[in-house]
Copies of this chain bind each other. A is one copy, B any other.
Amino acid sequence: MDDIQPPGRLVTLTDVARAAGLGESTVSRVLRNHGSYSKRAGERVAEAVARLGYVPNRLAGSLAGQGASARLVGVVIPSLANVVFPDLLRGLTAALDAEGIPCVIGVSDYDPDREEALAAALLSWRPAALLLTGLEHNPGTVALARAGGVRVVEMIDTDGAGIDAVVGFSNRAVGAASGRHLVARGYRRIGYLGHDLAVDLRAGKRLAGFEAALGEAGLALRAKEIRPGPSSPTSGRVGLEKLLARHPDLDAVYFSNDDMALGGYFACLAAGVAVPGRLALFGFNGLDFAAAMPQPLSTVRTPRLEIGRQAAACLTGDGPKTIDLGFELIEGATA
């Protein structure tokens, strides 16, 4: 037969139908294994598909199908530089790949306006669901999400009201638990070292919970160093050096996350500051390296992969719900 297609034109379902000597609907049924068809039809279609190299066009399929929503999910995350978000995606893609649903991603750079623009752009692909990060969004984003007629899942943070489904943990509670831990261990001259809070709202919530816990014990934060830019070990190292220069009397430092804490640990090693004897360090996230350190980092392990998985699981259900996956305080050896 003539396998030769006019170049530039891709093989369509109609081509397959013709090649298989069947109707389009039969081919469609066979390909989706939906409805009934004979064994003979199945074989002929398989043969024609293989011979012509047919790749279905889901653009057309989704457009024609029920509800016109695509087997895609839109995901807006604030960053790819912080391990948290790739981990989230990891849990998500692992769960979704099993169903053959890919993610369309947008990176907002922590900018609510970009988030709104990305949400609109992603919704224009008519995804089955829209996944956002955190609970704080522009009114426009919320309106879009509600009007989009799709399932909306907000990931990571449970401290507040969500649009639809919410999967995460309480950042405030993490901060509080961390604060109580330091207080219980007898630390009294406590400092905080973080990256930009106006940008990373969840770090701000942790800090609020942390300060509240100190307050319960009649304490207050002795010093606070906020570094511009994203979190990183380098930022943590530089930040801790500055913090110690200004407040040499600190006996513990709470970091906005493990990356910052690693930098802080390196600063201590370099300066010969005994950890935790002279200075205790406490992180957040429970990354792999925290456990590999000569003294395992005291930190809080967050269920990042599980958040992604549960978010994927939410897509099938409906109705608002909040899943709090909790967290685990790792005592470690640095605080």
B105 near A105 with CB under 8 A, answer yes
* Residues 267-317 of A at the B interface (beta carbon under 8 Å): 269-270, 288-289, 291-294
Q: In the complex, which residue of chain B has the Cβ closest to the Cβ of A293?
A: B266
Q: Which residues of chain B have C-beta atoms less than 8 A from A232's C-beta?
A: 288-289, 292
B125 near A289 with CB under 8 A, answer no
Which residue of B72, B144, B149 is within 8 Å of A8 (Cβ)? B149
A85 to B266, CA, bound (A): 26
A interface, size bucket? 35 or more
A57 near B68 with CB under 8 A, answer yes
* Residues 240-271 of A at the B interface (beta carbon under 8 Å): 259, 262-263, 266, 269-270
A143 to B147, CA, bound (A): 41
Q: Which residues of chain B have C-beta atoms less than 8 A from A122's C-beta?
A: 102
A289 to B57, CA, bound (A): 44
Q: Which residues of chain B have C-beta atoms less than 8 A from A93's C-beta?
A: 80, 105-107
- Residue A124, interface by CB 8 Å: yes
A106 to B72, CA, bound (A): 12
A292 near B10 with CB under 8 A, answer no
- Residue A70, interface by CB 8 Å: yes
Q: In the complex, which residue of chain B has the Cβ closest to the Cβ of A101?
A: B121
Q: In the complex, which residue of chain B has the Cβ closest to the Cβ of A53?
A: B147
Which residue of B10, B59, B85, B102 is within 8 Å of A106 (Cβ)? B102
A55 near B148 with CB under 8 A, answer yes
- Residue A90, interface by CB 8 Å: yes
Which residue of B62, B102, B149 is within 8 Å of A59 (Cβ)? B62
A80 near B70 with CB under 8 A, answer no
- Residue A97, interface by CB 8 Å: yes
A234 near B106 with CB under 8 A, answer no
- Residue A56, interface by CB 8 Å: yes
Q: Mark A67-105, 1 if CB is under 8 A from B, else 0.
A: 010101010000011010111011001100100101111
A103 near B100 with CB under 8 A, answer no
Q: Which residues of chain B have C-beta atoms less than 8 A from A289's C-beta?
A: 232-234, 259, 262-263, 266, 289
- A93-B80, A262-B289 are known contacts. Are A72 and B104 too (CB-CB below 8 A)? yes
B68 near A94 with CB under 8 A, answer no
Q: Which residues of chain B have C-beta atoms less than 8 A from A224's C-beta?
A: none
* Residues 97-133 of A at the B interface (beta carbon under 8 Å): 97, 100, 102-107, 114, 118, 120-126
Q: In the complex, which residue of chain B has the Cβ closest to the Cβ of A89?
A: B80
Q: Which residues of chain B have C-beta atoms less than 8 A from A126's C-beta?
A: 57-59
A224 to B273, CA, bound (A): 36
B288 near A233 with CB under 8 A, answer yes
Which residue of B8, B60, B266, B288 is within 8 Å of A234 (Cβ)? B288
